[in-house]
């Protein structure tokens, strides 16, 4: 439900763009939404409808209608977090299987970003509630709001270590390490069948098939390489350690299936039905963006295998 806010621009604001001021003040709303509100004539400055580039200063009077339910990915939501490492620049969590990393147009809550936003900005939750209750004099500086910065992602069904930056500088430096492939990651995967080779490399390009709207091995796709080694051979499956040299969409699932050893739980690619996808981000190693030392973290998991024909339903 839209609310009307009446704001007298305070001291210290001199010729600031309207959209920048609103983005700073209403930290939980996306820039795109605020631009649409201004474009649709729902914002007036000194009684006149203005555009997003209008320069405002101390004493100007802004009237705007906003729906505070239209929050961005920064919606604050309290849920348990398994924190593996944290300092002033970054945080590494152990993501649960079945948890999205960021909101989508269908799922707006319960994601890693929602929960991290709450954890890193608990005080903002209280102050935002005051704003929603009509305290139009409240000003919340966005500069003080910690925006979690994703530098890589995990599929919803994949569990394990996820590295998130706490500030712009850390995000830029960590993202550069991913681009240069100096970040080392490995995964545990329980795959179907008995893998014969103790150590091997899967080298198969991956591309998108538009007609099927899916990703798979494709001759004209982008180069993709995965190294693996066998950790344990079981009755009808094999526990592997996977190292993705490249980072293509669904690379580990696609590569395992391409050598006739789909990951257990990956029904779409030939794996048996299971309580979860048996893929876990188990190790990550990177250079700290401030200290310069290499940080190496580990999160192990025991996949409980359902042996026998009863598991294949």
Domains and CATH numbers, the chain: 3-66 (3.10.290.10), 75-180 (3.30.2350.10), 183-311 (3.30.2350.10)
pLDDT of residue 101: 92
- β-sheet bridge partners, residue 61: 8
pLDDT in tens, the chain (313 residues): 688 999 999 988 999 999 888 977 886 677 778 989 999 999 999 999 999 999 999 999 999 999 876 655 456 788 999 999 999 999 999 999 999 998 776 787 899 988 998 898 876 555 555 655 655 444 455 556 777 888 999 999 999 999 999 987 898 899 999 999 999 999 999 999 999 999 999 999 999 998 888 999 999 999 999 999 999 999 999 999 999 999 999 999 999 999 999 999 999 999 999 999 999 999 999 999 999 999 999 999 888 765 544 344 4
Q: Are 285 and 293 in contact (CB under 8 A)?
A: no
Q: Which has the closest alpha carbon to 160: 294, 38, 295, 280?
A: 280
Whether the Cβ atoms of residue 64 and residue 5 lie closer than 8 Å to each other: yes
Q: Give the model's pLDDT for residue 60.
A: 95
Decide the pairing of beta strands 159-165 and 279-287. Answer: parallel
Q: Could you say which DSSP state residue 29 is in?
A: B
Q: How far apart are the first and last CA of the chain?
A: 47
Residue 132: in which H helix or E strand, if any? Answer: helix 122-132
Which DSSP category does 53 fall into? T
Active site residues: 155
Two tokens at 175? Answer: 């993202």
In angstroms, the CA 14 to CA 57 distance is: 4
Q: Which residues pair with 190 in a beta bridge?
A: 239
Name, in order, each residue with C-beta under 8 angstroms of 224's C-beta and a sequence gap of 6 or more. Answer: 203, 204, 205, 206, 246, 248, 251, 254, 255
Q: Is the CB of residue 258 less than 8 Å from the CB of residue 217?
A: yes
pLDDT at 104: 75
């Amino acid at each position: 439900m839209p609310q009307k806010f009446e704001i007298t621009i305070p001291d210290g604001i001199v010729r600031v763009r309207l959209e920048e001021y609103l983005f700073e003040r209403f930290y939980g709303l996306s820039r795109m939404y605020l631009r649409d509100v201004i474009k649709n004539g729902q914002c007036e400055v000194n009684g006149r409808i203005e555009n997003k580039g209008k320069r405002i200063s101390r004493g100007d009077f802004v009237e705007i209608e906003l729906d505070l339910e239209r929050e961005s990915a920064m919606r604050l939501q309290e849920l348990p977090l398994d924190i593996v490492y944290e300092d002033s620049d970054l945080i590494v969590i152990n993501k649960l299987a079945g948890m999205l990393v960021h909101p989508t147009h269908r799922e707006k809550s319960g994601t890693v970003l929602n929960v991290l936003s709450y954890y890193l900005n608990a005080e903002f939750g209280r102050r935002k509630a005051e704003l929603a209750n009509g305290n139009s004099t409240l000003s919340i500086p966005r500069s003080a709001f910690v925006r979690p910065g994703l530098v890589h992602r995990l599929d919803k069904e994949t569990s394990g270590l996820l590295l998130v930056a706490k500030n712009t500088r850390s995000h830029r430096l960590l993202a550069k390490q991913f681009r240069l492939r100096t970040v080392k990651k490995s995964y545990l995967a329980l795959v179907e069948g008995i893998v014969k080779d103790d150590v091997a490399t899967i080298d198969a390009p991956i591309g998108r098939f538009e007609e099927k709207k899916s990703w798979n091995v494709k001759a004209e796709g982008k180069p993709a390489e995965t190294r693996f080694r066998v950790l344990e051979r079981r009755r009808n499956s094999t526990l592997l350690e996977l190292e993705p040299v490249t980072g293509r969409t669904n690379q580990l699932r696609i590569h395992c299936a391409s050598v006739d050893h789909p990951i257990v739980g990956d029904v779409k690619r030939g794996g048996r039905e299971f309580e979860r996808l048996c893929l876990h981000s188990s190790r990550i190693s990177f250079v700290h963006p401030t200290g310069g030392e290499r940080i190496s973290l580990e999160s192990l998991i025991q996949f409980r295998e359902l042996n026998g024909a009863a598991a294949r339903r």
